[in-house]
Each structure stands twice: as C-alpha cells, then as structure tokens.
Amino acid sequence: MVDYLTGLFGDLRIGWRDAIDIAIVAFLLYEFLKLIRRTRAVQIVLGGALVVGLYYASEFTTLRTVNWIVRDMFGYIVFAAIVLFQADIRRALSNLGRAPLFKYLARPATTDEAIEEMVTAATMLASQRTGAIMAIERGTGLRNYIESGIPLDSMVTYDLLVSIFQSDSPLHDGAVVLQENRVAAAACFLPLTVNPRLSKELGTRHRAAIGLTEESDAVALVVSEETGNVSLALDGQLERDLDAEQLRFRLEALMLQVERKYSPRRPRSESDF
C-alpha cells in the first residue's frame, strides 16, 4: 500500500503557482459555502449535484435516453438558476467586494459629531415612540436607494432627523440615507427581507433594515413606533433594545473602527428569539 501511494504521488511537484491556485479555489469554495449556509440555495445545490451525478451515471451505464434528457436540460437549468437567484448572486458579488483587504483600504466617512447627532435623534424619537429608519452607507454604495427618495444633501443634525420622521412630515414614510457624513436623501425605499425565520413581531421598518443589510454592508438604525426600542441591523442580523450608550458604542466600532474595551450590556440579537 505504501509503495502504491509512493508511486502515485512520487512524481507530484507542487510549485508556488499551484499553491496560490489551490488557495484561491479553496477561498472561493469557502465563501460560497458561507453564502448558501442556512438558505434555500442549499437544496438547489444538492439538486444540481444530483443532476450532475445522474448525467455521469447515465454515461457510465450507457442510458442514452436519460443522458440525452439531462444534457439538453442542463442549459435551461443554468439560466433558470440565474433568474431565480439573481438576488443571491448579487449578494455574493457584493460580499467579494467586502473582503477584509478592502476594509483596510477604506476610510471612515462618519465623524464623531455625526454619530452623536444620530444617537441623540434616535433617543428623542424613541422617547416619543416615533418610528424611524436611518441607513448609513459604508463600503457598498447606496445610490440606487438614494435615487428612490427625495434628495437633501444636508448636514447631519438631530433636529433635522427628528423633524423628518414626525408623522405630519411629508418625508416620514421611508428611510433616511446618510452618505459621506451627510443626509443624502429621505423617504427612500429599501428592500424587504424574505427571511422566513424572523420573528412575527417585526414590522416593515425592521424588515427593510434587515433586507438592506443583507444586500450591502450598510448599517441601519431603526426606532420602533410600537415599543420605542432602538435596534441596529448589520449583515442581515438585528441587535435589539439598545440604549444610547450601547448605540454610540456600536456606531463608533462600525463607522470609525474605534475599539473600546467593554460594552455596558450585551444587546439582544434576533438570534435570541
């Protein structure tokens, strides 16, 4: 057995190019598995693997009719998968652009003053039980969502944010998008998540915040109209019941890359329910 393995791999030579090639393929495979984990795409991948296995089995056993059907269907299956999973494909390409290398090259675009204004506005809106949603752009551009709203291009101030979300304001129905340390637009439409595992108590604002962060690296701040609780959405996950100090801590860590030694209290996430 040892002699057989020695003869099989004895002439194998791996250079630095081969090592890079293997590393790239392993990285892409790892990211792909992370992307489809706990999603409906897992069943599609298993079904595709079954079709490929059936094709090679029909080749080996000379089942000509089965082989012909699978071979002719394969092209249509590829196009159908592209149409059905265009959102997942877009999210995958976006995740590749959010690799750690690009995060180190990016510069924080939000200042301490802007974060303080957002925290103050969220605290005031929560005390009034006024619903609100603020989306903060990071590496992935939010131009498509900005163009769906009313352009403002204004400084970030708490009185502007509070005024926008008052019920008698014509701009309160929708999201505020903050871009490059300014309020870019208001009354913006965000994509709703289709995650079936979310709590039934979450309303449209929370689902829009989660949907946006599923498709981009943006941070979404949500104030609940029913409970007055403040939540933060990131990477499709929701951190709930944040007080002012926790919200400031999270925004500084996410937007300014400031690392603090402790958090006063661990916020509840959607996974706790």
The alpha-helical segments, DSSP class H, found in the chain are 2-9, 16-36, 41-60, 64-84, 86-96, 100-105, 112-128, 143-146, 158-164, 204-215, 244-255
Q: Is the pLDDT of residue 59 over 60?
A: yes
Considering only CA atoms, which of 118, 126, 59, 156 is closest in space to residue 250?
118
The pLDDT assigned to 32 comes to: 73
The length of the chain in residues reads 273
230-234 and 219-223 as β-strands: parallel, antiparallel, unpaired? Answer: antiparallel
Q: Is the pLDDT of residue 10 over 60?
A: no
Q: Is the pLDDT of residue 271 over 50?
A: no
The pLDDT assigned to 165 comes to: 94
Q: Is the pLDDT of residue 98 over 70?
A: no
- The mean pLDDT of 194-199, rounded to a whole number, is 80
Q: Is the pLDDT of residue 219 over 90?
A: yes
Cα separation, 173 vs 165, in Å, equals 8
The pLDDT assigned to 160 comes to: 94
Amino acid at 51: V
- Residue boundaries of the structural domains of the chain: 2-104, 112-272
- H or E stretch at 155: strand 150-155
- Confidence class for position 2, pLDDT limits 50, 70, 90: low
Q: Is the pLDDT of residue 185 over 90?
A: yes
- H or E stretch at 234: strand 230-234
With tokens 């196009």, the residue in question is 79
Amino acid at 125: L
pTM of the complete model beyond 0.75: no
- Confidence class for position 35, pLDDT limits 50, 70, 90: low
Q: Which CATH superfamily is domain 112-272 in?
A: DNA integrity scanning protein, DisA, N-terminal domain (3.40.1700.10)
The pLDDT assigned to 265 comes to: 44
Q: Is the pLDDT of residue 9 over 60?
A: no
Chain center to CA of 42: 18
- The mean pLDDT of 134-141, rounded to a whole number, is 87
More confident: 49 or 244: 244
Least confident of 20-34, 57-71, 82-96, 146-160: 82-96
